[in-house]
Structure 1
Amino acid sequence: MARKAPSQVRSDLPRRSSRADGRAVVPGVSSRTLAEIARVERHRYEPGRAHRALSAWRAMVYQRGPWVIYPDWYGDCPCCEPAWSGDPRETLDAFCHVLTRRAARELRAVLAPLDARFLARTLHDPYAPPGDPWWRRRVETA
């Protein structure tokens, strides 16, 4: 009777899940920066918050349609969302302020092409309050 090779037996066993499997990572940054982001998420936000904010920001910047986009900063029901789930760029900016200089520099390097595309696809709002962040001083409606 033929036997299975030990490697075949091991491959048939159910795989143990590790904690790292469920963690969403920010692409383009070092492991040291990922560790700092995970520390900030653990203490201030929730695990995976930076990745979700970056994904939402990328989706907004690369959305289909006409070249000029009009961002919608307010969701359907802002009272039902957690306090930290504001617009994604605000969350990413908060991460940049909390991280160390090196980690913030790496995160800003990932954000720079997205920010440049956002600036190219939106229009300046001359009536926006001057105290708002730069991404909020763009025209919101057509």
Structure 2
Amino acid sequence: MEARHLFLGTVSAALGHYRQFLAQPGRWRYVPNNDCACCDIRESRDTLEEALRALPPPARAELGRMVAALDAEFLRRTLPDPWFPRISPWHASRPWWWHRLPHG
């Protein structure tokens, strides 16, 4: 994954976006197809992953517990996209959260 700069508030915003997406009512959620990185839940999860890799162990463990709980909910409430890894090698190399069924 390409390295990005984690600015003050970026991780908090990504965590809030992930929580907000999962707090919406309904049993199933489809991943919105957004061209805007600020609105794409998968981009938010990418930011969280980058933070998990960059943080020192105590902070990583705390954030990791929060993200793991959200990931479990994300997996439970979204469906796998069987076509995503077949689109291209780039798609196949993306993390698991990119392989969930999008809206539309």
Same fold (TM over 0.5): yes
Q: After the TM superposition, which of the residue ranges 132-141 and 97-106 deviates more from structure 2?
A: 97-106
Q: How does 1:53-132 map to 2 (within 5 A)?
A: 53-64=14-25, 66-75=26-35, 77=36, 87-129=43-85, 130-132=92-94
TM-score normalised over the length of structure 1: 0.57
Corresponding letter in the other structure for 2:82: P
Would you say the 8 A contact 1:73–1:87 is kept in 2?
no
Query: Which structure shows the higher helix fraction?
Result: 2
The aligned length equals 91
Match of 2:100 in 1: 138
Instruction: State the Cα distance separating 1:73 from its structure 2 match.
Output: 4.7
RMSD: 1.9
Instruction: State the Cα distance separating 1:99 from its structure 2 match.
Output: 1.2
Q: How does 1:6-45 map to 2 (within 5 A)?
A: 44-45=5-6
Instruction: State the Cα distance separating 1:139 from its structure 2 match.
Output: 0.3
Distance 2:6 2:55 in 1: 13
Larger radius of gyration: 1
RCO higher in 1 or 2 (8 Å CA, sep ≥ 6)?
2
- Identity across aligned pairs (percent)? 33
Q: Which runs of 5+ in 2 are unaligned?
A: 86-91
